[in-house]
Amino acid sequence: MAQIKPTNGNCPDCGKPISGYNASSRDYGSPIKTCKCCGQQYLDRRYIELAVEPPDPSDLSAATGLKMALIGLGMFAVSGGFTLFTIHFRGYYYRKMAFVAIASIVVMLFGIIDSIRTKTGAKQKSLDKKREASEQRLMDRAYAQQLADLGYNVPDKYL
Ligand SMILES: [Zn+2]
């Protein structure tokens, strides 16, 4: 089998760009992908294979949601204060700041929901499901061997 090469946004074999590629994004799934143009396999390290890799730390930490909630609160305090201050002008800035105040409430809510999901273990449950799917993929010995050949720390039970 041909050596699987890592991608940097283009297919390493035919050079065609991978649609929607964003170097900083992270997702769960198999890091071995197939090019839609040439059919060759390539390695996409943005995908985390949970059976052999740890999850993204931000998916385990309540700090991510709390940070978001605090940013939203700060934004709300500033824009809300400014909205109240300009309320009797009823002009352009008033509407703009009222919009920012509403947007910051949304940010705050997302942050609160995120930290609740972390605290209640909903995030952990969703990660557990993804890990199970990952373990299922690893049951395929040829696939497990491919990952091992690529330098992944594959447990012996899969090989
Ligand atoms: Zn290709």
3-state secondary structure the chain: CCCCEECCCECCCCCCECCCCCCCCCEECCCEEECCCCCCEEECCCEECCCCCCCCHHHCCCHHHHHHHHHHHHHHHHHHHHHHHHCCCCCHHHHHHHHHHHHHHHHHHHHHHHHHHHHCCHHHHHHHHHHHHHHHHHCCHHHHHHHHHCCCCCCHHHC
Condensed to tens digits (0 to 9), the pLDDT of residues 6-46 reads: 999 999 999 999 988 998 899 999 999 999 999 999 999 99
Q: What pLDDT is recorded for position 47?
A: 96
- Distance (angstroms) between ligand 1 centre and the Cα of 42 equals 8
Condensed to tens digits (0 to 9), the pLDDT of residues 73-107 reads: 999 999 888 888 877 766 777 788 888 899 999 99
Entry pTM: 0.73
- Distance (angstroms) between ligand 1 centre and the Cα of 16 equals 6
- Distance (angstroms) between ligand 1 centre and the Cα of 145 equals 22
Q: What pLDDT is recorded for position 96?
A: 82
- Distance (angstroms) between ligand 1 centre and the Cα of 25 equals 21
Q: What pLDDT is recorded for position 97?
A: 83
What ranges do the domains of the chain cover?
Answer: 5-54+138-158, 61-119
Q: What pLDDT is recorded for position 119?
A: 83
- Distance (angstroms) between ligand 1 centre and the Cα of 130 equals 27
Provide the mean pLDDT of the chain: 91
- Distance (angstroms) between ligand 1 centre and the Cα of 12 equals 7
- Distance (angstroms) between ligand 1 centre and the Cα of 137 equals 23
